């Protein structure tokens, strides 16, 4: 057994005792060093000594992304600056970013989580890992880089951009694993096709480690179909640890959460009540070991559920469903709740369309306008009006069946929609607020 994976198989009773012991250290630490947390606890009439069982965590206040912005830059930092080793910030382009100061121990835990995910995927020191996540303030690049190095892999730090050169290096250096967003991998595949390069024939790619944005099972299937790789899901967020909070094993549909470092809860996003394992709601995390910027009951806005029972792989860590949507990404169109991931799933049921689309919303004095622009595959694109109308009707029928709405469907030529080399923007909402 790989030594970094031993905690994955810890007996559940032992794991729960460890989690409680860590929480009983964390809560007093947070209460003493973070004024906002202390004030909210006092307002709720709860003290650190009230944490006697794991269930008692529900008595304590939540933390949200707005707290990080309101307390920017150091308001939620618990450790002195002499102990801070690294800063990571959100990639937002407006207003103050969120800023997460981390100690060397925090970075080590994060690195360990990524390495455990990669080991679970079957990646070894014999692999060449190309990291095409962005480096810098974004956690993806450095997280994947240090995790792969901990495994002993050879790392190619391409970052995002310069796509043709990335493909050349992938081919020439015998890259076996690529780490990037799923949308960027699809962009790589499109550019490779134009260069006359077939991932199956011309590269040694075996694994893809994808994260940083929600992606559907249909996109996973499309990626594996065009490239022949195994598409792995890695979950994380800057506020908690970057990538490496959870990952999928070969036996489960969801992702094992590294519960020895991150305590998960599922809450009803409306009532804020904790839901039992097996019910879907909003994912909440508490960082059990972080000392730079600890997070107690951080609301991720990601929708998921927790599954119990030992996995066939032998791991005892709970499994979270793959994140298919976020509560704050929900669109309300003609009174109907719509998530972009639903639209993506509908489109992928039509083989003649490519996984590149744009949702555009606008409004008149009386109603919302809902349009979806979607690329047709190069093999299906035609100048014949009848052929294109047949495809358009298939797309419209798929969306009507699943979502219950009838948007305007505009089919466009291959390669005509904007591409992104980072997190892709799928929705343009120009409705009057």
pLDDT digits (tens, 9 = 90+) for 238-249: 999 999 999 999
Residue 169 has pLDDT above 80, yes or no: yes
Per-residue model confidence (pLDDT) at position 335: 64
**Orientation angle between helical segments 12-33 and 35-44, nearest 10 degrees:** 100
315-321-327-328 Cα dihedral, nearest 10 degrees: 70
Given pLDDT bands bounded at 50, 70 and 90, which one contains residue 3?
Answer: very low
Helices marked H in 50-98: 65-70
Phi, psi of 8 (to 5 degrees): -60, -25
Per-residue model confidence (pLDDT) at position 224: 96
Q: Residue for token digits 């455990």?
A: 116
Residue 315 has pLDDT above 50, yes or no: yes
Per-residue model confidence (pLDDT) at position 75: 97
Residue 144 has pLDDT above 90, yes or no: yes
Q: Return the minimum-mean-pLDDT range out of 1-5, 162-166, 322-326.
A: 1-5
Q: Which helix (H) or strand (E) holds 148?
A: helix 139-151
Plot region of 101 (φ>0 → left; ψ -120 to 50 → alpha; else → beta): beta
For residues 232-258, average pLDDT: 94
Task: Identify the structural domains of the chain with CATH numbers, from first to last.
Answer: 1-329 (3.40.50.12780), 330-429 (3.30.300.30)
3-state SS string over 190-227? Answer: HHHHHCCCCHHHHCCCCEEEECCCCCCHHHHHHHHHHH
Contact indicator for 147, 115 with CB cutoff of 8 Å: yes
Contact indicator for 170, 191 with CB cutoff of 8 Å: no
Q: Return the minimum-mean-pLDDT range out of 18-32, 374-388, 417-431.
A: 417-431
Name the E strands within 195-340.
Answer: 207-210, 230-237, 242-247, 255-257, 262-267, 281-287, 298-304, 306-307, 319-320, 325-326, 331-333, 336-338
Name the E strands within 37-188.
Answer: 84-89, 99-103, 128-131, 154-156, 177-180
**Counting runs of H as helices and runs of E as strands, what totals does the chain give?**
11, 21
Tell me the pLDDT tens digit for each residue of 183-225: 889 889 989 999 999 999 999 999 999 998 878 888 899 999 9
d(CA 359, CA 147): 35
208-213-218-224 Cα dihedral, nearest 10 degrees: -10
Tell me the pLDDT tens digit for each residue of 384-418: 889 999 999 999 999 988 888 889 999 999 989 88
For residues 85-98, average pLDDT: 75
Residue 371 has pLDDT above 70, yes or no: yes
| CA 239 to chain CA centroid, nearest Å | 12
Contact indicator for 162, 208 with CB cutoff of 8 Å: no
Q: Return the minimum-mean-pLDDT range out of 162-171, 250-259, 331-340, 390-399.
A: 331-340
Contact indicator for 277, 266 with CB cutoff of 8 Å: yes
Residue 105 has pLDDT above 90, yes or no: yes
For residues 336-358, average pLDDT: 86
d(CA 401, CA 1): 47
**Orientation angle between helical segments 163-172 and 182-194, nearest 10 degrees:** 80
Per-residue model confidence (pLDDT) at position 405: 84
For residues 273-278, average pLDDT: 97
Residue 4 has pLDDT above 80, yes or no: no
Tell me the pLDDT tens digit for each residue of 283-312: 999 999 999 999 999 999 999 999 988 899
Given pLDDT bands bounded at 50, 70 and 90, which one contains residue 91?
Answer: low
């Amino acid at each position: 057994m790989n030594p970094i994976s031993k905690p994955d198989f810890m007996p559940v009773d032992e794991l729960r005792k460890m989690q409680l012991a860590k929480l009983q250290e964390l809560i007093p630490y947070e209460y003493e060093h973070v004024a906002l947390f202390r004030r909210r606890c006092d307002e709720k009439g709860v003290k650190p000594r009230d944490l006697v069982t794991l269930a008692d965590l529900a008595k304590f206040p939540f933390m949200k992304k707005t707290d990080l912005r309101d307390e920017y830059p150091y308001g939620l930092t618990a450790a002195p600056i002499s102990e801070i080793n690294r800063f990571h910030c959100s990639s937002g382009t407006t207003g103050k970013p969120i800023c997460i100061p981390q100690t060397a121990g925090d970075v080590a835990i994060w690195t360990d989580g990524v390495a455990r995910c990669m080991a679970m995927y079957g990646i070894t020191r014999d692999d060449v890992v190309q990291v095409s996540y962005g480096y810098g303030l974004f956690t993806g690049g450095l997280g994947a880089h240090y995790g792969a190095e901990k495994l002993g892999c050879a790392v190619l730090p391409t970052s995002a951009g310069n796509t043709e050169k990335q493909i050349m290096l992938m081919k020439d250096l015998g890259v076996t694993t690529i780490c990037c967003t799923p949308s960027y991998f699809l962009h790589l595949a499109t550019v490779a096709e134009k260069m006359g390069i077939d991932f199956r024939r011309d590269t040694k790619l075996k694994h893809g480690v994808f994260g940083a944005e929600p992606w559907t099972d249909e996109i996973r299937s499309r990626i594996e179909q065009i490239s022949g790789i195994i598409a792995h899901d890695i979950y994380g967020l800057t506020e908690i640890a970057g990538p490496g909070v959870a990952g999928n094993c070969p036996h489960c549909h969801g992702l094992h959460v590294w519960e020895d470092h991150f305590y998960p809860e599922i809450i009803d996003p409306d009532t804020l009540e904790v839901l039992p394992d097996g019910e879907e709601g909003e994912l909440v995390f508490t960082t059990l070991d972080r000392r730079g910027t600890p997070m107690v009951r951080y609301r991720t806005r990601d929708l998921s559920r927790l599954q119990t029972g030992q996995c066939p792989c032998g791991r005892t860590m709970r499994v979270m469903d793959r994140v298919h949507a976020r509560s704050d990404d929900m669109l309300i169109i003609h009174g109907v709740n719509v998530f972009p991931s639903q639209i993506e799933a509908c489109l992928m049921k039509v083989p003649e369309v490519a996984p590149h689309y744009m949702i555009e919303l606008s409004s008149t004095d009386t109603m919302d306008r809902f349009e979806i622009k979607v690329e047709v595959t190069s093999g299906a694109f035609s100048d014949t009006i009848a052929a294109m109308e047949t495809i358009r009707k298939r797309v419209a029928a798929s969306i009507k069946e699943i979502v219950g709405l009838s948007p305007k469907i505009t089919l466009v030529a291959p390669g005509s929609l904007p591409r992104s080399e980072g997190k892709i923007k799928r929705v343009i909402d120009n409705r009057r607020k």
